[in-house]
């Protein structure tokens, strides 16, 4: 189990290990980095590293905890209840979360493999995911009640939250694989394009999302198909899943 420092000097040493590991994991990927590499990069002996962390898995867990802590602080910057946030505020914070993906790039690339290989990390991830999805579901229900999104049923609402979560978790890795589009704005844009069809006229104004077909001239409501107004093959077109 990872030790916690009790003095400033010890804290600096432990932080050097974590900063070195983050740098190497981001550059090379977790599989290519050993604890000896981390110790050398941190300028300490392997024995000193093992005093703080028993193995590489413990270092990864601590870096993941740092990432989660930084991400969750984005949602409690003041006294605001996250359920009261408007779409523009949520998109802004999701954009900041996208920027965090760049700092912890190795998680965007390697997370699924790390979760399959480390049951302790997987359990923590599931707990974090359940907590965040519950908050986002409460937020989505609040938007529905306030008329900011169309009256989706709970199942479709859950699918929308799931889709946004998957994009937030994976966009950076795919963008990096393609050799471009790893800036935070790209991640925010992908999230906006998924959310946009579900917003009402009021929700679109709140989110300041511009209809690309309007040539940037103004905010548009969700397209007709998203509100069930379009008929296809003689029947109403349901909300997209």
Residues of the chain with CATH 1.10.10.60: 1-54
Q: Are 198 and 152 in contact (CB under 8 A)?
A: yes
Beta-bridged to residue 219, according to DSSP, are: 210
What tokens were used for 164? 């946004």
Range(s) of the chain covered by CATH 1.10.357.10: 61-236
The SS3 assignment for 215 reads coil
* Band (1; pLDDT cuts 50, 70, 90): low
Instruction: Select 1-54's CATH number: 1.10.10.60, 1.20.140.10, 1.10.8.60, 3.40.50.150.
Output: 1.10.10.60
Whether CATH 1.10.357.10 fits 61-236: yes
pLDDT score at 221: 40
Q: What angle do CA 24, 26, 27 make, to 5 degrees?
A: 65
Report pLDDT digits (tens) over 69-114.
998 888 775 556 677 888 888 877 877 887 788 899 999 889 999 9
Burial 185-197 (b: 16+ CB within 10 A, else e): eebbbbbbeebbb
């Amino acid at each position: 189990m990872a030790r916690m420092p009790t003095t400033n000097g010890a804290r600096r040493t432990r932080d050097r290990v974590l900063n070195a590991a983050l740098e190497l994991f981001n550059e090379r990927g977790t599989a290519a980095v050993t604890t000896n590499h981390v110790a050398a990069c941190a300028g300490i002996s392997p024995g000193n590293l093992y005093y703080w962390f028993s193995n590489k898995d413990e270092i990864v867990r601590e870096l993941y905890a740092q990432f989660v802590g930084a991400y969750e602080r984005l949602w409690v910057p003041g006294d605001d209840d996250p359920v009261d946030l408007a779409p523009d505020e949520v998109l802004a914070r999701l954009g900041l979360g996208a920027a965090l993906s760049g700092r912890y790039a190795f998680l965007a690339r390697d997370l699924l493999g790390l979760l399959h290989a480390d049951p302790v990390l997987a359990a923590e991830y599931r707990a974090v995911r359940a907590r965040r999805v519950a908050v986002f579901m409460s937020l989505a229900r609040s938007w529905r009640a306030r008329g900011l999104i169309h009256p989706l049923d709970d199942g479709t609402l859950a699918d929308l939250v799931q889709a946004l979560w998957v994009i937030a978790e994976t966009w950076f890795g795919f963008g990096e694989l393609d050799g471009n589009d790893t800036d935070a704005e790209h991640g925010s844009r992908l999230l906006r394009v998924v959310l946009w069809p579900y917003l009402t006229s009021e929700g679109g104004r709140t989110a300041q999302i511009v209809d690309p077909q309007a040539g940037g001239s103004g905010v548009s409501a969700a397209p007709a198909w998203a509100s069930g107004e379009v008929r296809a093959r003689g029947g109403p077109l349901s909300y997209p899943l």
